[in-house]
Amino acid sequence: MNYRHAYHAGNFADCMKHALLVWLMRAMGRKEKGFAVLDTHAGVGRYDLAAVPAERTGEWRAGIGRLAGATDPALADYLALVGELGLYPGSPALIRALLRPQDRLACCELHPEDIRPLRRAFRDDPQVAVHHRDGYEAIGALLPPPERRGLVLIDPPYEAGDEFVRLVDAIRLAHRRFPSGVVAAWYPVKSRAEARGLHGDVAAAGIRDLVAAELWLREPIDAGRLNGCGLLVVNPPFGFAAAAGEILGALLGRLGNREMGEGVGVEVVCGE
Ligand SMILES: C[S@@+](CC[C@H](N)C(=O)[O-])C[C@H]1O[C@@H](n2cnc3c(N)ncnc32)[C@H](O)[C@@H]1O
């Protein structure tokens, strides 16, 4: 396991994923009944962008660094949370901030070093369970939640050559075990063919209510680069496609470099 999220925290891909995650969490909270969140690939929880790993790549400067002072209404909720939470908040910190007393979070992290700060962050928190385990395996073990309402965030590092295959299997398994659950899976867009392949493979598994929200910084001609990223959402809450379009449009306005092929797209892959 070579991937460490501390080198990439706050980059454009994190901003995209986290701004959409905040919207999804608010949508889950529209109903009074409690819900459970499973964050399969959690990272360490919060990131010091002045520390060596983040400074070494400087990726955050082209991400959250460019959003300071942004007043776009579509980004207001996400940016207010980032401001309130201090160090740059990863998915577990953002999710935790939006849990109500009746909700709970289970997060998984496999890296032997990254699990320690994650454990420390939630040591005395009765609403958060931290698991040092394979997040893919946890989908089979922890779903469905007793609440029968929930959100599963799948955010793997894509270090392994077969990560897209594992992702499709994981989405299928999550949907089979928990058909009404909302599943949000982040993926890199290196080439359009790979992203279309992912959508097609998930749709071919018989999943009918599926939306893909993507942000592209440039035409994905060089498949060796992270040209954009996407969030594939199964059972999106009402209003997701429209809200995602606004959020991604606002992000692109701040993070785009006017390169050829930059843009956003929200596609209903498979209507209900
Ligand atoms: C992209 S980062 C997660 C970032 C986090 N979700 C966020 O938004 O702040 C992926 C994380 O997954 C961890 N990881 C890799 N393989 C894993 C697995 N099979 N199960 C659980 N965690 C894994 C890595 O150590 C890394 O911390």
97-147 pLDDT per residue, tens: 999 999 999 999 999 999 999 999 999 999 999 999 999 999 999 999 999
Closest by alpha carbon to 45, among 108, 136, 133, 104? 108
Q: Is 198 exposed, middle or buried (0-12, 13-18, 19+ CB in 10 A)?
A: buried
Atom of ligand 1 nearest to the CA of 8: 1
Question: Tokens 């080198």 map to which residue?
Answer: 7
Q: Tell how far the Cα of 253 is from the centroid of ligand 1, in angstroms.
A: 28
3-state class (DSSP) for residue 217: coil
* CB-CB contact of 189 with 220 (8 Å): yes
- For residue 73, CA distances in Å to 70, 83, 245 come to 9, 15, 13
Closest by alpha carbon to 233, among 213, 251, 248? 213
- For residue 84, CA distances in Å to 13, 137, 142, 184, 204 come to 21, 33, 31, 24, 42
Q: How far apart are CA 263 and CA 254, in angstroms?
A: 12
What secondary structure letter does DSSP report for 7?
G
pLDDT of residue 270: 77
Q: CB neighbours (10 Å) of residue 157?
A: 17
In the predicted structure, residue 169 carries a pLDDT above the cut 60: yes
Ligand 1, CB cutoff 6 Å, lining residues:
1, 3, 5, 17, 41-43, 90-91, 108-111, 114, 134-136, 155-157
Mean pLDDT across the stretch 241-246?
A: 98
Question: Tokens 């599963």 map to which residue?
Answer: 152
In the predicted structure, residue 57 carries a pLDDT above the cut 90: yes
pLDDT of residue 208: 87
- DSSP β-ladder status, 128-131 and 104-108: parallel
- Structural domains in the chain, sorted by start: 5-270 (3.40.50.150)
Q: How far apart are CA 189 and CA 214, in angstroms?
A: 8
Q: What's the mean per-residue pLDDT of the chain?
A: 96
- Supply 106's token pair: 């289970």
For a mutational test of ligand 1's pocket, the pick from 39, 82, 109, 163, i.e. the residue with the most ligand atoms closer than 8 A to its C-beta, is 109
Q: How far apart are CA 118 and CA 271, in angstroms?
A: 37
18-50 per-position pLDDT tens digit: 999 999 999 999 999 999 999 999 999 999 999
- Residue minimizing CA distance to atom 9 of ligand 1: 90
- Supply 242's token pair: 């429209």
Q: Tell how far the Cα of 138 is from the centroid of ligand 1, in angstroms.
A: 13
In the predicted structure, residue 271 carries a pLDDT above the cut 70: no
Active-site residue flag, 155: yes
Q: How far apart are CA 34 and CA 61, in angstroms?
A: 37
Closest by alpha carbon to 158, among 194, 193, 131? 194
In the predicted structure, residue 272 carries a pLDDT above the cut 50: no
From 39, 103, 114, 155, the catalytic residue: 155
Atom of ligand 1 nearest to the CA of 108: 21
- Supply 203's token pair: 């749709």
The stretches of the chain forming alpha helices (DSSP H) are: 12-28, 52-57, 76-85, 91-97, 115-121, 135-142, 163-177, 192-204, 240-255
